[in-house]
Amino acid sequence: MSRAEILGAIRRGLRRGEVPPDQQAMLASRTAMHQRHIIPKRGQLDLAGRIDLFTYYAEREFATVARLQSYDEVPEAVTSYLAGQNIPPAIVVAPHPALQGVPFNQTPMLDIRYGVSKADDLVSLQVAFAGIAETGTLMLPSGPARPTSNNLLPDTAIVVLPAEYVVGCYEDAFDALRDAGPMPRNVMLVTGPSRSADIEQTLELGAHGPRRLHILIVDVQN
């Protein structure tokens, strides 16, 4: 009833009835085309340029970035980062296929748990679906390999970003997401660690989400 009244009021305002079928078809095809609008030039670079730009903007927004040659280097990169920040070496790891072959057994000091983050987990390790050079943004869609809680609950978020997945603009990342299947329940675009400027307009890091965001860009040789 309310639905009919709201739609009726809109149509009265537009001085017409329901959109006629031919126009509906036009609107449906506008939607289906996914037409892009103006794309900022700054991200339209080759892969090396995109990775540099991604790193520049991620660091500008207070994330930290390290570049690794292969997945084999991930355990060492995680332990040395945590040691440098004085954080206990215990992490909750997303059950992502890319992390299955990572040789965590080479760093016995590192305490590993696979699964969904709980409130008392201090550090998470996640795998990004894409990196977006335009603003140094990570795309983290939910799914069986990527629990959303792990992006939010731990104090420190470490995210593996395969170098080849660094794209120029958000549109490229969403096109890849469409190719991968139906829209996931949750898609987070993350740019830097959590923050607030609510107290006297002064920026403080670490509001409700992670205080630190560390990104490991991994070169993958096929």
Q: CB 70 → other proteins: shortest distance, Å?
A: 27
Does 15 sit near other proteins (CB under 8 A)?
Answer: yes
Does 184 sit near other proteins (CB under 8 A)?
Answer: yes
Does 36 sit near other proteins (CB under 8 A)?
Answer: yes
What does the DSSP 8-state code read for residue 121? -
**Ranges within 63-92 binding other proteins (CB under 8 A):** none
Among 7, 25, 47, 180, binds other proteins (CB under 8 A): 7
Structure tokens of 219?
């070169």
Among 147, 154, 162, 168, binds other proteins (CB under 8 A): 147
- Residue 110 near residue 104, CB atoms below 8 Å: yes
Site map (CB under 8 A) of other proteins, residues 38-57, x = contact: x-xxx--------------x
- Residue 221 near residue 70, CB atoms below 8 Å: yes
Structure tokens of 216?
């490991």
Among 29, 86, 201, 222, binds other proteins (CB under 8 A): 201
Among 24, 69, 70, 106, binds other proteins (CB under 8 A): 24
CB atoms < 10 A from the CB of 52, how many?
A: 13
Structure tokens of 215?
């990104």
Which is it for strands 204-205 and 195-196: parallel, antiparallel or unpaired?
A: antiparallel
